[in-house]
């Protein structure tokens, strides 16, 4: 699937910009309140941000680390980047989570649910089912989950006799794409969401409670998915009648669950429970034990147990040599360097951000309007830059605004995470998942998909801001 996506040639100017920001920018006259060290820190980070958006994830990460190391000292940068517990946690988590995908447990679960007679003759329930399944499984790995779901959806479209390039399949694919993007930032102890939460904690020395995060994220996501279904039905007036003919037998009979798949589900459930227990103080003794072990202890413990297990073929249950998401690990490492130093007055980063925010606060005196404007700016940019990177770039601005106007910073940060997942209108924007869905050229036209997505985003953004701000004031 990923190989089928056409890669555009990368212009040499993008490499030049990255090198300029990492190695020349730090030697210029300091901007704002930045110190020479702050120029090196910001230059390395912004150079990497440009490269992540225009080149790929790996080379720009090394360029940023090299630039920071040259000016700030390699030992100091290495200690902040790879000596940080967050990077180790991310590495271990990715390895443990591979057992759920490698055993085919997710595919079995989807087929089993689709075989239920509950969905027969209920078109909007069936469509909603795919949206919520995509949302729930995205935390494991949104790219792999997209690779699993796309063939299932294409087979379903063929079976139901849907017309290629029509509104129904196009909007369903946009919806599944959106749910995968939302799902990857929902569970704060998994994947992208964990990287973002950890980056916030490192930057501002404030931990985000997993329980509160989920209490905000899950209802917001449920509302947003229902809103999207409403947009399909009442704004686009989609004819979903072909799904009335859906019968469970169309998707084939689900194979019996294997022993390895059962083991994978047990590992996943235990991992999630342990993570929740480590963060929710209301759980009493369980919280006391698991919080002492911590996130790293849970991740290492999961590795320790699964490495002792064998699959039905007598081979190791997880393959630690399997390629992992090094791009996310390196991004996490680079962000930790920024996070570890940005609050220090020796760099002047926080003071510079405050100077940049002040004119906005003068123009938009209503704090909620100001937050909405910043979030709208993020939604636009997420179509041209990586979602996760944008979240990290906008974090200091959102915290500064929230702290100044008296809004809970954590609520605004989590709302930022979700707003940055609306990269639905361009194929080469915020996430590889977007390109994968735009690449289904036998069912969708890029121009049609973009037009429908832009209209949907207008309604989604309004719902996201209105309900998100209200719900954040309740939870945080």
**Which of 222-236, 240-254, 434-448 has the highest mean predicted lDDT (pLDDT)?**
222-236
When pLDDT is averaged across residues 315-332 and rounded to a whole number, the result is: 70
With tokens 């963060």, the residue in question is 279
Here the tokens at position 355 are: 């100077």
Mean pLDDT of all residues in 138-159: 82
Residue 153: band (very low, low, confident or very high) from pLDDT cuts 50, 70, 90: confident
Question: CA–CA separation, 433 vs 410, rounded Å?
Answer: 27
Dmax over CA atoms of the chain, in Å, equals 69
Q: For the chain, what is the radius of gyration of the CA atoms? A: 23
d(CA 67, CA 39) in angstroms, rounded, equals 11
As a whole-number percent, the residues of the chain with pLDDT over 70 amount to 90
Residue 459 · residue 227 · CB < 8 Å? yes
d(CA 67, CA 339): 16
Q: Which residues touch 335 (CB under 8 Å, ≥6 apart)?
A: 45, 195, 199, 202, 392
Residue identified by tokens 């944008």 is 390
pTM: 0.79
The confidence band for 9, taking pLDDT boundaries of 50, 70 and 90, is: low
Find, among 158, 180, 181, 182, the residue nearest to 169 by Cα: 158
Mean pLDDT, the chain, integer: 83
Q: Inform me whether the pLDDT recorded for 25 exceeds 90.
A: yes
For residue 3, the model assigns a pLDDT of 43
316 - beta bridge partners?
310
Residue 276, pLDDT score = 80
pLDDT of the residue at 284: 84
pLDDT single digits (tens) 172-199: 999 999 999 999 999 888 778 888 888 8
Q: What is the DSSP string of 382-419?
A: TTTS-HHHHHHHHHHHHHHHHHHHT--HHHHHHHHHHH
**How far out from the chain centre does Cα 69 lie?**
28
Q: Check residue 281 and report its DSSP letter.
A: G
DSSP state of 351: H
Using the predicted structure, report yes or no on whether residue 325 has a pLDDT greater than 70: no
Task: Report the C-alpha gap between 47 and 28 in whole angstroms.
Answer: 15
pLDDT tens digits, 384-442: 777 877 788 788 888 877 877 677 888 888 899 999 999 898 875 556 788 788 888 88
| Predicted confidence band of residue 2 (pLDDT cuts 50, 70, 90) | very low
φ, ψ for residue 406, nearest 5 deg: 85, 25
């Amino acid at each position: 699937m990923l190989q089928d996506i056409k890669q555009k040639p990368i212009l040499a100017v993008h490499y030049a910009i990255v090198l300029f920001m990492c190695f020349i920018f730090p030697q210029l006259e300091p901007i704002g309140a930045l110190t020479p060290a702050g120029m090196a820190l910001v230059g390395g980070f912004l150079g990497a941000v440009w490269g992540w958006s225009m080149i790929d994830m790996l080379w720009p990460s090394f360029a940023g680390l090299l630039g920071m190391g040259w000016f700030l000292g390699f030992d100091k940068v290495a200690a902040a980047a790879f000596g940080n517990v967050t990077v180790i946690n991310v590495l271990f988590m990715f390895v443990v989570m591979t057992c759920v995908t490698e055993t085919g447990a997710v595919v079995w679960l989807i087929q089993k649910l689709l075989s239920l007679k509950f969905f027969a003759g209920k078109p909007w329930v069936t469509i909603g089912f795919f949206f919520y399944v995509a949302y729930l499984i995205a935390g494991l790995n949104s790219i792999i989950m997209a690779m699993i779901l796309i063939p299932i959806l294409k087979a379903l479209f063929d079976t139901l006799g849907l017309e290629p390039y029509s509104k129904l399949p196009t909007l369903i694919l946009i919806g599944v794409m959106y749910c995968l993007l939302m799902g990857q930032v929902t569970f704060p102890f998994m994947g992208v969401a964990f990287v973002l939460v950890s980056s916030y904690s490192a930057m501002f020395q404030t931990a985000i409670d997993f329980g509160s995060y989920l209490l905000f994220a899950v209802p917001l996501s449920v509302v947003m998915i229902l809103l999207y279904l409403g947009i399909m039905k009442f704004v686009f007036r989609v004819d979903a009648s072909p799904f009335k003919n859906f019968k469970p037998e169309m998707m084939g009979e689900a194979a019996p669950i294997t022993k390895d798949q059962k083991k994978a589900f047990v590992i996943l459930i235990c991992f999630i429970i342990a993570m929740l227990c480590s963060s929710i103080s209301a759980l009493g003794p369980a919280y006391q034990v698991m919080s002492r072990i911590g996130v790293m202890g849970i991740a290492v413990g999961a590795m320790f147990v699964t490495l002792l297990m064998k699959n039905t073929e007598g081979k190791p249950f997880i393959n630690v040599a399997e390629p992992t998401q090094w791009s996310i690990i390196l991004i996490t490492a680079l962000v930790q360097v920024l996070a570890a130093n940005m609050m220090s007055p020796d760099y002047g980063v926080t003071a510079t951000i405050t100077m940049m925010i002040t004119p906005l606060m003068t123009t938009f005196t209503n704090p909620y309007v100001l937050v909405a404007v910043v979030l709208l700016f993020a939604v636009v940019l997420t179509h041209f830059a990586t979602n996760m990177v944008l979240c990290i770039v906008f974090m200091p601005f959102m915290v500064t605004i929230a702290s100044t106007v008296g809004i809970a910073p954590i609520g605004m940060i989590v709302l930022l995470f979700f707003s940055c997942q609306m990269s639905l209108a361009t194929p080469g924007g915020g996430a590889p998942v977007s390109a994968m869905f735009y690449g289904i050229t036998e069912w969708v036209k890029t121009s049609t998909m973009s037009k429908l997505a832009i209209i949907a985003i207008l309604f989604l953004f309004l719902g996201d801001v209105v309900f998100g701000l209200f719900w954040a004031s309740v939870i945080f």
